[in-house]
Amino acid sequence: MRVSKMLLNTLREVPAEAESVSHQLMLRAGLIRKLAAGIYSYLPLGLRVLRKVEQIVREEMDEAGAQELLMSALLPAEAYQASGRWEVFGADMFRLKDRGDRDFCLGPTHEEIFTETVLATVKSYKQLPMTLYQIQNKYRDERRPRFGVMRSREFVMKDAYSFDRDNAGLDVSYEKMYHAYCKAFSRMGLDFIVVDADSGAMGGSGSQEFMVKSDTGEDTIAYCPACGYAANEEKAPCAPESMPEEEKRALSKIHTPGVRTIEELVAFLHTDSKRFVKTLLYQADDQLVAALVRGDREVNEVKLANHLGARELTLAEGAQVTAATGAAVGFAGPIGLKIPVIMDLEVAQMTNFIVGANETDYHYQDVNTSDFEAAATIDLRTIVAGDPCPKCGLPVTTTQGIEVGHIFKLGTKYTDALGCTFLDENGKAQSMIMGCYGIGVSRAMAAVIEQYSDDKGICWPVAVAPYQVIVVPVSMREPAQVALAEKIYEDLRQQGIEVLLDDRNERVGVKFTDAELIGIPVRIAVGRQAAEDVVEYRLRTDTDNTMLSSADAVARAVAFVQEGLKAGR
Ligand code: ATP
Ligand code: MG
């Protein structure tokens, strides 16, 4: 491709709206263009990368025995109504009506539609197992679209679904996907870890997420450097920290005027936050509940929602808190509270602690769990760095991660709901056992940039680079330079290399800056020594040029590209 003919619109300035490195670089390199919040067009360079990421995923899915198909993104409501997710998705689902007033949505994920398809086409155990997939746009009206295509409202997902006759079969299908994911992400050059993930309130027997370590990641991962255990913090079990035993004292009320937060209490009472128990009120679907954790801990909302089987869980509003406690916000406590109290395991072991008194400006001290009634005592807090590893007990570390893939043993949730059965050897109808497997294709593309960039721009790994080599004539006014650049360009094309020729009438500085920004892995610059057939060869990650004959430069570029394409396979 000749750069002079290309739709290329690089920006020198960092766009103000872009918070993450990948979002900034995708805009600056002209890979994407924003249409609305969380909605982007892929410009030619960006589309080439997206297609490569897709193709890697496709090849690994095919290799694992999955079959590709393509469904509509515009979906009738019925199957989602049957599974209950027409309600569960709530405002996240883009909904619309046709001219006959029938309900439709833009597919946020396709479990129901795959189940329907298999139900209509697969009848016998002889046809199982079967894994189907598609690579397609998904639509979710995210509460907070951000980081460009990382969390967008239209995004490309590879979604696969396996159908098995029993759990042993599901384990095999799941294992195949696990390995296909590892290969696909390795081929993209991603440094990832696989973590145990939450399976949600709706059950399922296991799930793992593929996380790319990055500061911009919205997920927190707890991992153990000693034994390799890794889990999403939503999921990681927490052991209670043992506290010194004390003789239980009788509770008493203390006057704490205007002292609402744990920090204020610590200062006011000159004590440690570990002496307090926080009482947080949550609206869980249509009930109000109180959650208790030690003063220095955080409530894990996923664990709480799972325990309650709640679809929606939000912190209660100030007015609700006042109505339930009879006190201003900041003075809630479990004693005398009329709503269900869910207590963390750690709280159950504490003695003589401090809580709000459900009376403005008052707290109780020397509280013990016998002073109130808890509806349940569960693991309710979020793991933090230094907590004991759930597997080996040594301290865990935490890091931020970008979830690029998710694999999930679903079981029979959808096949039961929609009646997707097969006939076994005895002619008996049985529900198929499902697994589902997603890859955020567009998010993975952004994740690659998060891991492969420097202060000048993107440094694409060869396997996903939009072009592999760029040939830059230093001056378009020098016929010798232009002729040699053209020859190198042709030679590389002949050898199947994806190559750009920067034939623009621009200063060489501009050309080099653009080549660095868009991240082409190999640059061959043809300058003053063109007449002697000497060119400058340089990798995007190098700091120096190597002077080579044009033939050597071509040979080196070809070898480098071939090596890069093999990497991770
Ligand atoms: P998240 O927790 O990030 O919202 P999710 O659990 O909703 O993800 P899944 O429903 O499992 O995601 O979707 C499969 C994959 O699709 C995810 O692993 C992620 O890589 C990608 N994905 C999900 N939501 C988005 C989005 N809004 N924009 C881009 N990619 C997304
Ligand atoms: Mg989501």
Ligand closest to the CA atom of residue 219: 1
Pocket residue to mutate for ligand 1, from 149, 210, 443, 448, most atoms within 8 A of Cβ: 443
Pocket residue to mutate for ligand 1, from 54, 110, 406, most atoms within 8 A of Cβ: 406
- Closest C-alpha to ligand 1, atom 16: 440
Same-domain status, 364 and 405: no
Q: Which of 265, 251, 252, 253 is nearest to 330 (CA)?
A: 265
- What would the 3-class secondary structure string for 387-448 be? CECCCCCCECEEEEEEEEEEEEEEECHHHHHHCCEEECCCCCEEECEEEEEEEEHHHHHHHH
Q: From start to end of 230-269, where are the E strands?
A: 230-232, 252-255
Same-domain status, 338 and 374: yes
Ligand closest to the CA atom of residue 408: 1
In a domain, 386, yes or no: no
Same-domain status, 54 and 168: yes
429-472 pLDDT, tens digit each = 999 999 999 999 999 999 999 999 999 999 999 999 999 999 99
Q: Residue 151 Cα, ligand 2 centroid: separation in angstroms? A: 8
Same-domain status, 544 and 472: yes
Pocket residue to mutate for ligand 1, from 157, 202, 214, 301, most atoms within 8 A of Cβ: 157
Is the Cβ–Cβ distance between 80 and 86 less than 8 Å? yes
Backbone phi and psi for residue 241, each to the nearest 5 degrees, phi listed first: -80, 130
* Buried b / exposed e along 259-284 (16+ C-beta atoms within 10 A): bbebeebbeebeeeebbbbbbbbbbb
Kindly state the average pLDDT of the residues 30-40: 97
What single DSSP character describes residue 185?
H
Contacts of 12-18 with C-beta under 8 Å, sequence gap 24+, read 18/148
CATH of the domain at 479: 3.40.50.800
In a domain, 287, yes or no: yes
- Does residue 217's CB lie within 6 angstroms of at least one atom of ligand 1? no
- Does residue 405's CB lie within 6 angstroms of at least one atom of ligand 1? yes
Kindly state the average pLDDT of the residues 177-203: 91
Q: Which of 201-205, 403-407, 528-532 has the weakest average pLDDT?
A: 201-205
Contacts of 451 (CB under 8 A, 6+ apart): 189, 190, 191, 212, 214
Same-domain status, 120 and 178: yes
In a domain, 1, yes or no: no
- Give the span between the Cα atoms of 412 and 433, in whole angstroms: 5
Evaluate if residue 180 carries a pLDDT over 90: yes
Confidence of residue 483 (pLDDT cuts 50, 70, 90): very high
The per-residue pLDDT for 201 is 58
Q: What does the chain come to in residues? A: 569
- Closest C-alpha to ligand 1, atom 31: 440
Same-domain status, 529 and 420: no
If 0-12 CB within 10 Å is exposed, 13-18 middle and 19+ buried, where does residue 427 land?
exposed
Question: To the nearest 5 percent, what fractions of the chain are helix, strand and coil?
Answer: 35, 30, 40
In a domain, 100, yes or no: no
In a domain, 36, yes or no: no
Of 378, 410, 427, the one marking the end of a domain is 378
Residue 216, Cβ neighbours under 10 Å: how many? 19
Ligand closest to the CA atom of residue 209: 1
Pocket residue to mutate for ligand 1, from 146, 181, 403, most atoms within 8 A of Cβ: 403
- Give the span between the Cα atoms of 488 and 327, in whole angstroms: 78
Kindly state the average pLDDT of the residues 138-151: 96
CATH of the domain at 352: 3.90.960.10
In a domain, 521, yes or no: yes
Number of domains the chain is built from? 3
Q: Residue 236 Cα, ligand 2 centroid: separation in angstroms? A: 19
In a domain, 457, yes or no: no
Q: Residue 439 CA: which ligand 1 atom is closest? A: 15
Same-domain status, 341 and 419: no
- Give the span between the Cα atoms of 515 and 525, in whole angstroms: 11
Q: Which of 115, 121, 152 is nearest to 137 (CA)?
A: 152
Q: Which of 97, 39, 105, 40 is nearest to 71 (CA)?
A: 105
Evaluate if residue 39 carries a pLDDT over 70: yes
- Give the span between the Cα atoms of 466 and 451, in whole angstroms: 16
- Does residue 440's CB lie within 6 angstroms of at least one atom of ligand 1? yes
Same-domain status, 57 and 164: yes
Kindly state the average pLDDT of the residues 206-213: 96
Q: Residue 115 Cα, ligand 2 centroid: separation in angstroms? A: 21
Kindly state the average pLDDT of the residues 114-122: 96
The per-residue pLDDT for 569 is 74
Evaluate if residue 250 carries a pLDDT over 80: yes
Domain containing 446 equals 47-71+107-236+398-450
Q: Does the N-terminal peptide bond of residue 44 adopt cis geometry, omega within 30 degrees of 0?
A: no
Contacts of 44 (CB under 8 A, 6+ apart): 6, 7, 8
The per-residue pLDDT for 58 is 98
Tokens of 107: 């597919």
- Does residue 438's CB lie within 6 angstroms of at least one atom of ligand 1? yes
Kindly state the average pLDDT of the residues 347-368: 96
Q: Rg of the chain over CA atoms, in angstroms?
A: 29
In a domain, 418, yes or no: yes
534-547 pLDDT, tens digit each = 999 999 999 999 99
User: What percent of the chain clears pLDDT 90, i.e. is strictly above it?
Assistant: 93
Tokens of 233: 């913090």
- Does residue 155's CB lie within 6 angstroms of at least one atom of ligand 1? yes
Evaluate if residue 199 carries a pLDDT over 90: no
Same-domain status, 288 and 365: yes
Give the residue ranges of DSSP H helices in 100-251: 111-121, 167-187
Same-domain status, 231 and 125: yes
The per-residue pLDDT for 204 is 75
- Does residue 142's CB lie within 6 angstroms of at least one atom of ligand 1? yes
Same-domain status, 118 and 223: yes
Evaluate if residue 568 carries a pLDDT over 90: no
Q: Residue 340 Cα, ligand 2 centroid: separation in angstroms? A: 28
42-72 pLDDT, tens digit each = 999 999 999 999 999 999 999 999 999 999 9
Q: Residue 440 Cα, ligand 1 centroid: separation in angstroms? A: 6
Same-domain status, 232 and 120: yes
Is the Cβ–Cβ distance between 532 and 467 less than 8 Å? no
Tokens of 353: 């602690």
- Give the span between the Cα atoms of 569 and 564, in whole angstroms: 10
The per-residue pLDDT for 203 is 62
Evaluate if residue 268 carries a pLDDT over 70: yes
Ligand closest to the CA atom of residue 410: 1
Evaluate if residue 162 carries a pLDDT over 90: yes
Ligand closest to the CA atom of residue 208: 1
- Closest C-alpha to ligand 1, atom 1: 403
506-554 pLDDT, tens digit each = 999 999 999 999 999 999 999 999 999 999 999 999 999 999 999 999 9
The per-residue pLDDT for 302 is 95
The pTM of the full predicted model, rounded to 2 decimals, is 0.93
The per-residue pLDDT for 55 is 98
The per-residue pLDDT for 202 is 58
Kindly state the average pLDDT of the residues 97-109: 97
9-19 pLDDT, tens digit each = 999 998 888 99
Tokens of 553: 């430069």
Is the Cβ–Cβ distance between 477 and 48 less than 8 Å? no
Kindly state the average pLDDT of the residues 315-326: 96
Angle between helices 167-187 and 44-63 (to 10 degrees): 140
The partner residues of 537 in beta bridges, in order of sequence, read: 524, 546
Ligand closest to the CA atom of residue 92: 2
- Give the span between the Cα atoms of 422 and 407, in whole angstroms: 24
Residue 388, Cβ neighbours under 10 Å: how many? 15
Q: Measured over all CA atoms, what is the biggest interatomic distance in the chain, rounded to whole angstroms?
A: 95
Backbone phi and psi for residue 111, each to the nearest 5 degrees, phi listed first: -50, -50
Confidence of residue 391 (pLDDT cuts 50, 70, 90): very high
